[in-house]
Structure 1
Amino acid sequence: MAKGDDAAKAFTEKQFDYLVIGGGTAGLVVAARLSERQDLNVGVLEAGHAIPDDTPAVSVPGRWGEGIGTGYDWQFETTSQKQLGGRKLAWPRGKALGGSAALNFMIWNRPSRDDLDAWERLGCKGWGWNDMLHYYKKSEMFVEPNDKAKLEHTIHYDREAHGTSGPVTVSFNKEHSVPHQYWHKTLENLGVATNKMHMSGSNTGAWTSMVAVNPQTATREYSATSYYKPVRDRKNLTVLTGAIVRDVVLEKSEGEWIAQGVRFEHDGSEYIAHASKEVVLSAGSIKSPQILELSGIGNPAILEKAGAQTKVVNKNVGENLQDHLMTATIYDIDPSVPTLDDLRVDPKLAAAADEEYKTRLTGPRTLLSCSMAYIPLSTLVPEAGISTLTSHLSTPTDLLSKAIASRLEPSANGGHVEYIFDVGNWNPFTPVQPGKKYATLLQILQYPFSRGSIHINPAAPHEAPIIDPRYYEDEGQIDREVQLHAAEFGQKILEAEPLKSFVKERVWPPKGVNNREWNEWIVGNTTTDWHPVATCAMGGKEGKEGGGGGVVDERLRVYGVKGLRVVDASIMPLQISAHLQATVYAIGEKGADVILEDAGA
């Protein structure tokens, strides 16, 4: 990684074959894989900086969330959301080498087979489950638990579905909080079976989740530690941090726009770096569409307001935004049960936990929430209720709208809502009482009908873009109604044994609220689960050079520009039922392969 006052100048003087914009989750995968070829010179521009290895807020699993709101976070926020009572929501995104995987809660899971096969049905050839499983496995090094842990923590997995030689070490937690022992039996008593093959193409049911944690060191695994750190001394790989990308340099030749390089700012000065083969945009679902628009690729009406020249017309840039929506119900529990909240209010307990972690790699600082269940819509909503939901749909006219609408069909069996249960108060709106202890049931809607946009701010194009998820608007009212049904099922979970014996009563929302009050509570408590996708989506069969749908083709090439690709979560055309981390690594792996294949390597 280049350092010093002359770092930017030295970077621009290098002869790069490929320039990668963004040293985040996908960007470092691409850079590491391309630079395996010694004859290729690869440069990476990252706006943030490297995180020191001894940064507990990032490296220590049980301190999840502490990196949010720091200098390693872009600290974005949405516009006022009309259907959320005018609230603006914080949208944390990683601004550091390693990206958002340095800030997330380390959950490592995969979507269902049908989630990815739906991409292929849209015309995105090569993106179905059978093709993508190879890349999921290629990214991971799975460390198997011992037999005692399997039995004690109800751990199941399909050994054949996992990679054993990839860069990212993944594992099952060695310790779990108190209620995990009740999770599987409780769900079984509600007719929800434990899924013993949850990483093999079917993600419905309950399971103990895997995490991106190295069990030998009990530290977070993310792309900076797994993909970049082991290869950072390669002579053909150069990373420049603190580099704010302004735009992609496009030049026209024989009527065709060609990506020639990247304009960026470093320490207050502006520079241009050149790429002889391709520019790869891996800045994520928020920054990637912004950079395309700053480069003159997008909707002319939006670009003109920002004073940007339109070079390539594509009204899909920044559109089709899909996000997971989350609420958190809170329950009163026995005050003797240890929770993470204890460490936040008691310095002595925190110091003891830190010492145990330092000396034995055990205890509260190793704990993550791994009690999970993904429930299909047919379990949550009665048949008559599904008919009511479908009445809110307009007639789907394109493949994407039809694919989204199909998620309301009675035969749909994907995990429509995710539940996670753990001790501690996860809802900042909860009216807490001194001396009380709490547990949280998260319910996270996976297949949103709310669709929003991310665009440059006409008043300040190079500052934070305008993020408008349009939660619960238009067809998004389906999401709000599903959340109501999901809350009812969530209450059933906490009223079933053995969890019923662990919790006392629901305290937020208060016990006894009626349907109208539940609705108001959902409006006032819905937040993001930090999983935005699709703002530079693959166009599939209806791509037509960006006119009929999408921003990139199935080879991730930006429509209308030669030598420019997007490789990150923004290319996903449809939201998936899973946390995004493992899928973004797989996208990075496949993207690197596609680039090398198209180069004839």
Structure 2
Amino acid sequence: MVDAVLSDVVNKAFDYVIVGGGTAGLTLAGTLSEDASISVLVLEAGESNLDDPKVLILGQNAYAIGDPKYDWNYPTIPQHHLDGRCLFWNRGKGLGGSSAINFSNWTIPPAEDFDAFEKLGNPGWNWNDLEKYVHRIEKFQKPTQDQIEKELYTFNTDTRGHTGAIKTTFPVSTSSSLEIPYLQVMNSLDIPFTDGYGGKPCGVFHTTLTMDNETHARSYAANAYYTPNRTRSNLTVLTRAHVAKVIFADNTASEDLVAAGVEFLFGNNTSTRHVVHAKREVILCTGTVISPQILELSGIGRSEVLEAISIETKIELPGVGENLQDHQVTNLNYELDNQVDHETWDRMADPVFAAEQLKLQPNGEGMHCRGIVSMAFLPFSKFNPEESDAFFTQAETNVKKQLASSAYPGLAGQLELQLQVLRNPEVADTEILCFPGRGFYTLLGPPEPGKQHLCVFVFVQHPFSRGSIHCKTNDPFQSPDIDPNVFSNDTDLGILVEQIKFVRKLVEIDPLKSLIIREIEPGPERESNEDIREFIKLTLATAYHACGSCSMLPREKNGVVDPTLKVYGTRNLRIADLSIIPLQPLGHTQSIAYIVGMKAADIILVEKKKSEA
């Protein structure tokens, strides 16, 4: 149904009510509605934002991020280990969710990261199973031979999908005068060029973008899984519908709860609650921040949290909102020799140049067709081999301290898997990303006009720290308290210190060295480990990849959903988004959100078929 209105939904009944029209939600809706015998409703709190240039033109996300039309922009609570700093979590608001405003990187984790899900108690959630979804979701578009030779694009068509709805492609061009030297210097340190996919991303490579190489526009959940299917009579999508809670049918104390529908508010009316009914299931696809909030507002969670916001406890489920993990990032900034034009993103500060780039985009030219694609996924042992053993010993000590202060059941098993990856010289555990331009996380003001910069981002990819998300009020319009508890395990901070020291060695090697005039940040005055640690605390940001707040784990290990994504204690309430991921995987997480959405559809359709047999 095209452009549903409130009367199409209120007091109506649908087989499946999907809360959240983001990356996973629209993938789920588009796949479920292929079965014409079922009815699907999607409720999205944001606007549609379809055909919007701030969404479709990749580089325009810089203007969408922070804009309340496109971005929820959630603040965290002050972070104890960042000297009280608050971080801001940008999350897509509107159809497509964060796939509509992200940086479009398409990466796939190592096989070991997917296999870890199964080791934690989730049969069927392993590399062999989940890789199949990569092939179903992706439509890889090969570069030309000229691009391959000029840009050093490496790929293996066997590791890529070719028939899916999400189009991926290499940029038409890169800022090759910077990004190719970055690849070459990495390679000179025995870091291999790699395809980056197929479960073995360890090495250095140009990643692909979620972009259509014919229109040069963003390929994302809305134009892949909704727009082509919006005329289906069994698919209804209502935007500006803010869900307040799940409604449960009456039951006896010994029975699992049955989700009968949801209450929601519409548009600017924050006082009138509407109801829509679910004949089969309610599925939350509202993401790592909001899925635990809706559970708590619905009476599912830890009783003391619910009592504090005057919500009756329907299911005691202590794992709701716990086990929160997120990738953390900071950057080094370098000033370049201005005698060479590197075509960095610095030039976009000039409004005349920026306007020219918009005109070039439809033809596949200019900055908006480039993206940030030059990355290395490396094992930790690459950074400081001489001191790796001492670092691993300290990491084990930090884990023991963490476990001694935590009553979280099942955490020990997670952290042991992470220690195994940290020690493994064959498995990627970190990310270092090259960006032609001034970095985003800086202690300085805007760059000087006419200056050119190189930025190198460094990431914590498998964080040991654990945080939480909990309601602070029973008002559904108030965002919950987000506490990523950054650096509560000091190993995460130590990993970033070693990466910064490694990058400093990297840029002293030609062909990079001859391009750089000076290091701006952290700066030569910050030389010791302690100085670097303080710089990181001042500049650290989220990488927008949070997961785990409704973890798929056994119930006795603080799980919230089982391997079929059903919420424990319910018969027909599921969660299908990144909140169910129990252990943070390496890389950029949009691909995993698509996988969760499509796998959820398969699980649901199989169960439907069995129930009808």
- Of the three residues 454, 462, 480, the one matched with 2:469 is 454
Residue equivalent to 1:466: 481
568-577 or 514-523, which deviates more: 514-523
1:186 aligned counterpart, secondary structure: helix
Partner of 2:63: 66
Q: Residue 459 of structure 1: CA displacement? A: 7.1
* Contact 1:26-1:282 at 8 Å conserved across structures: yes
Distance between the aligned counterparts of 2:499 and 2:441, measured in 1? 20
Shift of 1:461: 5.3
**Shift in CA distance, 407/548, structure 1 to aligned 2, threshold 3 Å:** closer
Range that drifts further, 518-527 or 386-395? 386-395
1:35 and 1:236 in contact (8 A); partners too = yes
In 2 relative to 1, CA 151–401 (structure 1 residues): closer, same or farther, beyond 3 Å? Answer: farther
2:480 paired with 1:480? no
Q: 2:438 is matched with which residue: 425, 429, 441?
A: 425
- Per the normalisation by structure 2, the TM-score is 0.93
Moved more, 498-507 or 282-291: 498-507
Map of 1:589 onto structure 2? 598
Give the alignment's Cα RMSD to 1 decimal: 1.7
Instruction: Give the Å deviation of 1:307.
Output: 0.7
1:175 to 167, 173, 180: 173
Once residues 193 and 7 of structure 2 are traced to their aligned partners in structure 1, the CA distance between those partners, rounded to angstroms, is: 56
Alpha-carbon distance between aligned partners in 2 of 1:272 and 1:38, rounded to the nearest angstrom: 24
Q: Pairwise mapping of residues 305-344 of structure 1 onto structure 2 (< 5 A)? A: 305-335=308-338, 336-344=341-349
Aligned to 1:572: 581
What residue identity is the alignment partner of 1:348? V
Q: Return the match for 2:291 from 279, 288, 291.
A: 288
Candidates 565, 580, 588, aligned match of 1:556: 565
SS of equivalent to 2:435: strand
CA drift of 1:387 comes to 1.4
Which residue in the other structure is 1:371 paired with?
374
For the 8 Å contact 1:79–1:468, the answer to whether it is kept is: yes
Shift of 1:413: 3.6
In structure 1, C-alpha distance between the alignment counterparts of 2:139 and 2:476, rounded to whole Å: 41
Q: Which moved more, 1:103-112 or 1:159-168?
A: 159-168
Q: Please show how residues 119-134 of structure 1 align to structure 2 within 5 Å.
A: 119-134=117-132
**Contact persistence 1:49–1:242 (CA under 8 A):** yes
Query: 2:166 touches 2:219 (CA, 8 Å); kept in 1?
Result: yes
- State the distance in 1 between where 2:515 and 2:53 align: 31
Q: Deviations over 1:76-97 (max 9, x none)?
A: 1100011112111111111101
The answer to whether the 8 A contact 1:45-1:240 is kept is: yes
Residue 379 of structure 1, CA deviation: 1.4
Say yes or no: does 1:393 pair with 2:399. yes
Greater Cα offset, 295-304 or 403-412: 403-412
Instruction: After TM superposition, list the pairs within 5 Å mapping 1:521-540 onto structure 2.
Output: 521-539=535-553
Match of 2:279 in 1: 276
Displacement after TM superposition at 1:341 (Å) = 2.1
- The structural deviation recorded for 1:111 is 0.1
Structure 2 unaligned segments of length 5 or more: list them.
none
Q: How does 1:139-154 map to 2 (within 5 A)?
A: 139-154=137-152
Query: How big is the shift at 1:423?
Result: 1.4
Is contact 1:58-1:66 (8 Å) kept? no
How far off its partner does 1:441 sit?
A: 0.3
Change (3 A) 1:156 1:399: farther
Alignment check: 8 A CA contact 2:443 2:539 kept: no
Q: 1:32·1:228 contact (CA, 8 Å) conserved in 2?
A: yes
- 2:527 aligned with 1:514: yes
Q: Distance between the aligned counterparts of 1:91 and 1:484, measured in 2?
A: 23
Report the TM-score when normalising by structure 1.
0.95
User: Cα deviation per residue 1:258-316 (whole Å; 9 max; x = unaligned)?
Assistant: 10001000131311000110001100000100001100000000000001110000010
Native 8 Å contact 2:550 2:579 kept in 1: yes
Asked whether the 8 Å contact 1:331–1:508 carries over to 2, the reply is yes
Q: Which stretch of the first structure deviates more once superposed, 401-410 or 116-125?
A: 401-410
Q: Cα deviation per residue 1:328-387 (whole Å; 9 max; x = unaligned)?
A: 11001123432222122x2221222222224x2211221111110011112124222221
CA contact (8 A) 1:8 1:271 kept: no
SS in 2 for 1:288: helix
Partner SS for 2:102: coil
Q: Which amino acid in the other structure matches residue 53 of structure 2?
A: P
Aligned match of 1:351: 355
What is the rounded CA distance, in whole Å, between the counterparts of 2:321 and 2:337 in structure 1? 47
What corresponds to 1:407 in structure 2?
Answer: 418
2:38 match: 40
For the residues of structure 2 that align with 1:556 and 1:412, how far apart are their CA atoms?
33
| Secondary structure class of the residue paired with 2:7 | helix
Secondary structure of 1:83's counterpart equals: helix
What is the alpha-carbon distance in structure 1 between the residues aligned to residue 506 and residue 22 of structure 2?
37
Q: Distance in 1 between matches of 2:412 and 2:427?
A: 17
Q: Which amino acid aligns with 2:351?
A: P
Show structure 1 runs of 4+ deviating over 6 A. none
What residue is the counterpart of 1:231 in the other structure?
229
Question: CA offset at residue 402 of structure 1?
Answer: 2.5
Distance of aligned partners of 1:512 and 1:193 in 2 relative to their CA distance in 1, 3 Å threshold: farther
Amino acid aligned to 1:305: A
Give the residue type in structure 1 aligned to 2:80.
K
Q: Does 1:195 align with 2:194?
A: yes
Residue type matched to 2:440 in 1? Answer: N
Ranges in structure 1 where 5+ consecutive residues have no aligned partner: none
Q: Percent identity?
A: 34
Aligned AA for 1:156?
Answer: T
Is 1:384–2:390 an aligned residue pair? yes
Once the two structures are superposed, residues 375-433 of structure 1 have per-residue CA deviations (whole angstroms, 9 ceiling, x without a partner) of 11121242222212222111769654233233334336432210111211123424244
SS of residue paired to 2:238 = strand
1:56 CA displacement: 2.4
Aligned residue type for 1:119? F
Kept after mapping to 2: 8 A contact 1:190/1:496? no
Q: Say if 2:45 and 2:243, in contact at 8 Å, map to a contact too.
A: yes
Q: Which amino acid aligns with 1:77?
A: P
Q: Distance in 1 between matches of 2:441 and 2:113?
A: 32
8 A Cα contact 1:315 1:547, kept in partner = no
Asked if the contact 1:334/1:437 (under 8 Å) is kept, the reply is: yes
Q: Which residue of 1 aligns with 2:265?
A: 265
Contact 1:23/1:45 (8 A) holds in 2: yes
* 2:108 equivalent in structure 1: 110
The structural deviation recorded for 1:3 is: 4.9
What is the identity, as a one-letter code, of the residue corresponding to 1:35? Answer: S
How many positions carry a matched residue from both structures? 588
Q: 1:497 aligns with which of 507, 510, 518?
A: 510
Q: Which moved more, 1:522-531 or 1:147-156?
A: 147-156
- Does the CA contact (< 8 Å) of 1:314 and 1:547 recur in 2? no
CA–CA separation in structure 2 for the residues paired with 1:292 and 1:270: 17
